[in-house]
Chain A
Amino acid sequence: MTTPTKGRMIRLSDGSAFSSSKDTILEDLEENNVTLEYHCREGFCGACRCKLISGEVDYTIDPLAFIDDDEILPCCTIPLTDIMLDI
């Protein structure tokens, strides 16, 4: 199933960028060989939390982990717009 959230640009603070094609931002990062810490991949442990510098994301499930106002959990989010992450 294609969703309108695929094909958004994901930019990282090191200047690299790629477009989203997977089911979660974490999978997109892994697809592009970006190593990010993760444990549960289900939004409850918070191991993958990172800062969202710009853009908007949506959660695919209700996350249980603590997330600060400027943070997201890549394991259970999809980009709604082009986004920039502090990775």
Chain B
Amino acid sequence: MKYTTFNQQPTDFMVEPMFFGNPVNVARYDQQKHAIFEKLIEKQISFFWRPEEVDVSKDRMDFQSLSEAEKHIFISNLKYQTLLDSVQGRSPNIALLPIVSLPELETWIETWSFFETIHSRSYTHILRNLFTDPSHVFDDIIANDEIKRRAADISKYYDALIFATQLWQTQGEGTHVVDGETHVINMRELKKKLYLCMNSVNALEAIRFYVSFACTFAFAERKLMEGNSKIIRLIARDENLHLTSTQHILNLWAKGKDDPEMAEIAAECEEEAREIFLNAVQQEKEWAHYLFANGSMIGLNEDILCQYVEYIANQRMAAIGLGQPFDVSSNPLPWMNNYLNSDNVQVAPQESEISSYLVGQIDSEVSADDFDEFEL
């Protein structure tokens, strides 16, 4: 079905599925099939921050005092996070917007991606402060095999969905030959690709960030690189919200509260979804190995970081009904939670009590006795 930026057919969004229904026309939020996405938008906007608000100037001195092994850990993590947010800053838009069918979900996807671009900009902010010319760090993201391997796995589900959607929207359902390769396009296959892609994104938001978060906060536990840590806390808070959104989408499908065909696909592809998660866990453990290849850092080593990945994976997999495959019952890095607590991330003093201080602050009710104490 050809994509149109403004579908002229009257559409009842209360009966549309989240994806692969009619294209959205009016961006209206007066009626919402899944009100949770509107709430997530409000929450995300209340979290708005700019990298420049965080002073990272002290980090430059700290960085120079780090050992070579620690510098490798710090910079490698920034490279990996730059990759993750480069992918997340564009892919939800390109992959999901052409197939979304609910206005509140469409706007959530745009809001979500926009915040990933703030994260990307913050890595440049951090690196500009550490190096007079940070270009060698960015250039290496494309050259580094360890990062490239992860990039391939992260982008392949997005790419498959995007390509199939393009074929479907230009050629329709059927068997199409492109550059000598045969592609079978039908709704079931498209929805399967969407389901696997959503699981891959969920795993990305759920665990891929957490190895580097753990390293960042381990530096902060030693009062090192604290500017960077403040930024990463803001990023972690946003990522938590993004994770919540993909968990909602997956659970709405699995519990049959949206598209009944997606419920069938969720049951059919459960094993593949589990594999996506377990692969991500394995890759994160390999990443931990690469980080500590030149030596450890105080307070953290490869073993404990791998246990943490397993612990976090148990939590995240249970949340989407995939069970708890790993034998780790207690958090090996309990101090992590202090950094992930949203009360501890504020940058502006006026935000020190509640993070969503922008919501409902203007009171337009004026009663007759409001000016009683007023004298001229």
B342 and A40 form a contact (CB under 8 A):
yes
Instruction: Please tell me which one of the listed residues B39, B237, B248, B331 contacts residue A66 in the complex, with CB atoms under 8 A apart.
Output: B248
A37 and B331 form a contact (CB under 8 A):
yes
**Given the complex, which residues of A lie within 8 Å of B241, measured CB to CB?**
44-45, 64
CB contact under 8 A between A41 and B251, given known A46-B244, A49-B319: no
- Whole-angstrom distance between the Cβ of B160 and the nearest chain A Cβ: 26
How many contacts A-B (CB < 8 Å)? 57
CA distance A46 to B251 in the complex (A): 13
Contact with B along A24-68 (1 / 0, CB 8 A): 000000000001011111101111010000000000001011101
**Given the complex, which residues of B lie within 8 Å of A47, measured CB to CB?**
240, 315, 337, 340
CA distance A10 to B315 in the complex (A): 23
A64 and B340 form a contact (CB under 8 A):
no
A41 and B341 form a contact (CB under 8 A):
yes
CA distance A62 to B356 in the complex (A): 13
CA distance A65 to B40 in the complex (A): 9
Q: Is B355 an interface residue (CB 8 A)?
A: yes
- Whole-angstrom distance between the Cβ of A2 and the nearest chain B Cβ: 22
- Whole-angstrom distance between the Cβ of B299 and the nearest chain A Cβ: 20
- Whole-angstrom distance between the Cβ of B236 and the nearest chain A Cβ: 8
Q: Is B22 an interface residue (CB 8 A)?
A: no
B340 and A40 form a contact (CB under 8 A):
yes
**Chain A interface (Cβ within 8 Å of chain B)?**
35, 37-42, 44-47, 49, 62, 64-66, 68
> Can you report 26 residue pairs joining A to B where beta carbons are below 8 Å apart?
A35-B331, A35-B334, A37-B331, A37-B337, A39-B341, A40-B237, A40-B340, A40-B341, A41-B341, A41-B343, A42-B342, A44-B241, A45-B240, A45-B243, A47-B240, A47-B315, A47-B340, A49-B319, A62-B39, A64-B36, A64-B39, A64-B43, A65-B247, A66-B247, A66-B248, A66-B319
